[in-house]
Amino acid sequence: MKNIIKVFIAVSLLAVFTGVCAFAEDTVVTEDQPQKPGNIQGIEVLTGYSHASLSHNGSYKVIPLIVDLNFNFKDITKKIGINPPSMIVFQLEGFYNSAFEPDWSMEIGTAFAFKAGLAPEDWKFQPYLKIGAGIMYENLHTPEQATGFNFHEFGGFGMHYFIKKNLALTVEGRIRHMSNAGIRDPNHGINSYSGMAGILYNF
């Protein structure tokens, strides 16, 4: 299991390095593409409801609060000759989730994610797919997990609806797996399912 942790850390560092490279821009400002501070494309806030089943404690019910910083990943794909009509976004995500069942507890953590659009960027409706991974801490005491420190991976499908050129309403569904990568037993993992809504603001 130690090898799994090493591979995860290596992949995480590679993804972060790739993302940092994507954030770097020339300082020249053009009329077609004005410079954005730090190359941050936008910010997104999501909340909703998450549910998981625990073998001994029943249901695990959570209210998520997620904040994403969006970066335009097409800045780097264009350099290798790839310029799809849909969005490709790299996200840095932070979250603080409040659980209210089986007991009051919390989750706090961070993740990196990639979001790929399924329609041209100038459409009002923007369906997308998302994948991500990160680290987290949760203080729920459950037989499923021996430690509060865990890794998590998720995938999801969502939709933006732009009510203005730079402002959109968002709905998103996610499936998340949480486990400690075998650091300590038991490590059965917890799979949760989320439905969320929020708002996206592009700078």
Please list the pLDDT of the chain residue by residue as tens digits (203 residues).
444 444 444 444 444 444 444 444 433 333 344 444 447 899 999 999 999 999 877 899 999 999 999 999 988 888 888 889 999 999 999 999 999 999 999 999 999 999 999 999 999 999 999 999 999 999 988 888 888 999 999 999 999 999 999 999 999 999 999 999 888 888 889 999 999 999 999 99
The residues, ordered by sequence, that sit 6+ positions from 19 with a Cβ below 8 Å of its Cβ are 71, 73, 90, 92, 112
Rounded to 5 degrees, what are φ and ψ at 138? Answer: -135, 145
Q: Could you give the 3-state DSSP secondary structure of residue 168?
A: strand
pLDDT of residue 27: 32
In which domain, by residue range, is 114 found?
Answer: 2-27+37-202
Q: Is residue 32 part of a domain?
A: no
pLDDT of residue 154: 98
CATH code where residue 46 lies? 2.40.160.20
Indicate the DSSP class of residue 120: -
Q: Is 0.85 surpassed by the pTM of this model?
A: no
Closest CA to 201 of 171, 172, 147, 163: 163
Q: Is residue 154 part of a domain?
A: yes
pLDDT of residue 10: 46
Q: Is residue 133 part of a domain?
A: yes
Indicate the DSSP class of residue 187: B
In this structure, what token pair is assigned to residue 141?
């005491």
Cα separation, 127 vs 131, whole angstroms = 14
In this structure, what token pair is assigned to residue 10?
């290596």
Q: Is residue 89 part of a domain?
A: yes
**What own/partner pairs with CB < 8 Å and gap ≥ 24 does 11-14 have?**
12/112, 12/133
Q: How many domains does the chain have?
A: 1
Q: How far is CA 100 from CA 63, 74, 111, 143, in A?
A: 8, 40, 23, 18
pLDDT of residue 23: 43
Cα separation, 67 vs 19, whole angstroms = 17
pLDDT of residue 82: 86
Rounded to 5 degrees, what are φ and ψ at 153? Answer: -130, 145
